[in-house]
């Protein structure tokens, strides 16, 4: 590969820098530019409403499964053929766990945990056998020196054969399953091609030529008319315009948007990114047709097709699993700790005013989906405002005496722990706003350009904005802009430690009730 000139390197770095500036400065599409889907595109979007399993998640689960079974085989053979005293079991468990972990690491080094390797189990059988043999020998040697009564030759032989047989049979079955999952859409990465014509045609052909392709092309979107951009490209229909693409990606479970434009068309690409960056998807620029050549580290690849990474989906794959486990664990702990408070609040609401205990309100969730958020009712039933068009103000006559206390203490939010368990909310994230919420006479999206970018992750019961004093009434443009800025900062810098910090700071910051009415 030829070395790039300084001007070529600068062009790509310039494009990446300007793309980052769009995100950092909060540029986003004008709501008027986001149009409703045509019926055909909506029908296609409905076909992709269900989640698929990403290859990254599948490989991670597969590693854990092999580690667990290899550990179980070692312990079972030991228990049946080389029993030891109870006091020595922990040492044996630690050694066999280390050996199973070493085996998985060796199989990783041997490149047997890639989808092509798993799909072609017979081709990688020798590498798997060598990895298992080395891991087993290391484990057996450690046990020989560590245990007073080492495994017999017969026990070691049974252990080795059982482990090798398991790996061979399991990987053959996995290869069959992966081929089946790829056909029926269970395991795939769903992509939309942004841009049509000849560049899109070349891209589709190259993707389809990949021997182990996990990309499902869901359609093509292009602003150009049928004379410049055919309605069918390489067998895939053009579903609509770029403005319709935003709505399509919110309805369908899309993983990736691939822009099929030359990298030199910088202004056109930046115009697209202003529309698309608010979506919770990976955004890639296809480099298959570019004449410019860059160093290998400049690219990522889909199979052998080079791509430039412009935006990544936040909190993805195993990060999303870790966050979900965090949510469930701490929600259950909170319910156990606070159930007496919740019970007392429910009794107080029911006995002091007519109406239901819980108030249910439609709010924006992940990717603009509408969810029903639970709260203890804090208003008189005949004065409740489902739309939240009129924000609650200080001394608001609609709020009951009990409700005023619940709102100031944030006890009214505790039922949202059950929204977390249902998977609609996260414990920590941007606070969900009512679908019709507004400041003055304008909806939030009309005040803040990047408002919908908050919805790239699940909303939360508490958030970075709230512990920085931005809770309660949003009665000015400055407040909603500040809250959105904190929300975007949280999304860009997310980590489990960040969530933990926000979670433990929340009770302290709730002592400040100045803005809670």
Section 302-306 average pLDDT: 74
DSSP, collapsed to helix, strand or coil, labels residue 216 as strand
Section 8-22 average pLDDT: 60
How many residues make up the chain in this entry?
A: 517
- Amino acid 116: pLDDT: 77
Residue 423 DSSP symbol:
T
Distances (CA, A) of 272 to 17, 275, 285: 15, 5, 11
Name the band, by pLDDT with cuts 50, 70 and 90, for residue 138: very high
Pairing of strands 358-364, 370-376: antiparallel
Distances (CA, A) of 355 to 342, 350, 400, 414: 17, 7, 12, 19
- Amino acid 271: pLDDT: 82
| Alpha carbons 175 and 435: distance in angstroms, whole number | 46
Name the band, by pLDDT with cuts 50, 70 and 90, for residue 33: low
| Alpha carbons 483 and 259: distance in angstroms, whole number | 31
Name the band, by pLDDT with cuts 50, 70 and 90, for residue 5: very low
Q: Which of 97-106, 243-252, 472-481 has the lowest mean pLDDT?
A: 472-481
DSSP, collapsed to helix, strand or coil, labels residue 25 as coil
517 vs 271, which has greater pLDDT? Answer: 271
Pairing of strands 282-286, 300-302: unpaired
Name the band, by pLDDT with cuts 50, 70 and 90, for residue 8: very low
- Amino acid 10: pLDDT: 41
Measured from the Cβ of residue 62, the count of other Cβ atoms closer than 10 Å reads: 17
- Amino acid 513: pLDDT: 58
DSSP, collapsed to helix, strand or coil, labels residue 441 as coil
Judged against a pLDDT cut of 90, whether residue 415 lies above it is answered with: yes
Gyration radius (Cα) of the chain, Å: 28
- Averaged pLDDT score across all residues of the chain: 82
pTM: 0.75
Residue 456 DSSP symbol:
G
Bridge partners for 220 per DSSP: 193, 238
Sign for the pseudo-dihedral over CA of 483, 489, 491, 497: negative
Q: Which of 66-70, 404-408, 473-477 has the lowest mean pLDDT?
A: 473-477
Tokens of 84: 């030891």
Report phi then psi at 284, rounded to 5: -120, 150
Tokens of 44: 């296609």
- Amino acid 37: pLDDT: 79
Judged against a pLDDT cut of 90, whether residue 468 lies above it is answered with: no
Judged against a pLDDT cut of 80, whether residue 55 lies above it is answered with: no
- Amino acid 1: pLDDT: 41
CA 429 and chain centroid, separation: 13
SS (H, E, C) 111-172: CCCCHHHHHCCCCCHHHHHHHHHHHHHHHHHHHHHHCCCCCCHHHHHHHHHHHHHHHHHHHH
Q: Which domains does the chain have, with CATH numbers?
A: 6-52+188-313 (3.40.50.20), 55-184 (no CATH), 318-509 (no CATH)
Distances (CA, A) of 418 to 221, 324, 339, 421: 39, 14, 12, 5
Tokens of 35: 């149009």
Tokens of 486: 């904190």
- Amino acid 202: pLDDT: 85
Section 158-177 average pLDDT: 93
488-504 as b/e, with b when 16 or more CB fall inside 10 Å? bebbeebeeeebeebbe
pLDDT in tens, 207-253: 888 766 678 888 899 887 776 777 888 888 888 888 888 888 888 88
485 vs 54, which has greater pLDDT? Answer: 485
């Amino acid at each position: 590969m030829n070395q790039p000139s300084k001007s070529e390197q600068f062009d790509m770095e310039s494009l990446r820098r300007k793309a980052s500036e769009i995100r950092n400065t909060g540029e986003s599409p004008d709501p008027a530019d986001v149009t409703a889907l045509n019926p055909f595109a909506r029908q296609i979007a409905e076909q992709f409403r269900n989640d698929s399993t990403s290859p990254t998640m599948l490989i991670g689960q597969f590693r854990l499964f092999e580690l667990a079974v290899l550990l179980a085989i070692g312990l079972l053979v030991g228990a049946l053929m080389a029993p030891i005293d109870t006091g020595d079991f922990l040492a044996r468990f630690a050694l066999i766990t280390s050996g199973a972990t070493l085996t998985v690491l060796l199989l990783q080094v041997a490149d047997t945990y890639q989808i092509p390797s798993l799909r072609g189990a017979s081709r990688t059988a020798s590498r798997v056998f060598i990895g298992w043999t080395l891991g087993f020998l290391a484990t057996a040697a450690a046990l020989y020196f560590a245990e007073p009564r080492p495994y017999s030759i017969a026990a070691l032989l049974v252990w080795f054969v059982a482990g090798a047989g398991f790996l061979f049979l399991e990987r053959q079955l996995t290869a069959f399953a992966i081929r089946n999952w790829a056909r029926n859409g269970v395991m795939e990465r769903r992509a939309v091609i942004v841009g049509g014509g000849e560049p899109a045609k070349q891209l589709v052909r190259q993707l389809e030529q990949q021997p182990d392709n996990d990309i499902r092309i869901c359609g093509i979107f292009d602003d150009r008319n049928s004379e410049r951009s055919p309605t069918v490209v390489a067998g895939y229909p053009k579903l609509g315009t770029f403005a319709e693409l935003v709505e399509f990606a919110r309805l369908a479970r899309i993983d990736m948007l691939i822009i099929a434009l030359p990298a030199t068309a910088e202004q056109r690409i930046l115009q697209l990114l202003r529309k698309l960056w608010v979506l919770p998807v990976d955004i890639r620029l296809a480099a298959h047709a570019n004449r410019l050549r860059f160093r290998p580290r400049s690219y990522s690849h889909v199979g052998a097709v080079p791509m430039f990474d412009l935006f990544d989906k936040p909190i993805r794959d195993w990060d999303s699993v870790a966050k979900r486990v965090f949510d469930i664990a701490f929600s259950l702990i909170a319910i156990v700790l606070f159930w007496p408070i919740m019970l007392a609040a429910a009794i107080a609401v029911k006995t002091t005013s007519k109406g239901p205990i819980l108030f249910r309100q439609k709010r924006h969730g992940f990717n603009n989906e509408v969810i029903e958020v639970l709260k203890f009712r804090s208003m008189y039933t005949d004065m409740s405002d489902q739309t939240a068009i009129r924000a609650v103000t200080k001394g608001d006559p609609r709020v009951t005496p009990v409700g005023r206390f619940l709102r100031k203490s944030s006890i009214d939010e505790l039922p949202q722990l059950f929204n977390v368990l249902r998977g609609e909310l996260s414990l920590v994230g941007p606070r969900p706003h009512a679908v019709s919420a507004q400041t003055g006479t304008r909806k939030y999206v009309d005040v803040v350009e990047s408002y919908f970018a908050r919805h790239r992750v699940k909303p939360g019961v508490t958030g970075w904005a709230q512990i920085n004093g931005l809770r309660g009434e949003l009665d000015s443009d400055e407040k909603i802009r500040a809250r959105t800025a904190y929300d975007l900062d949280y999304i860009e810098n997310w980590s489990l430690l960040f969530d933990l910090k926000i979670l433990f700071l929340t009770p302290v910051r709730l002592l400040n009730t100045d803005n809670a009415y």
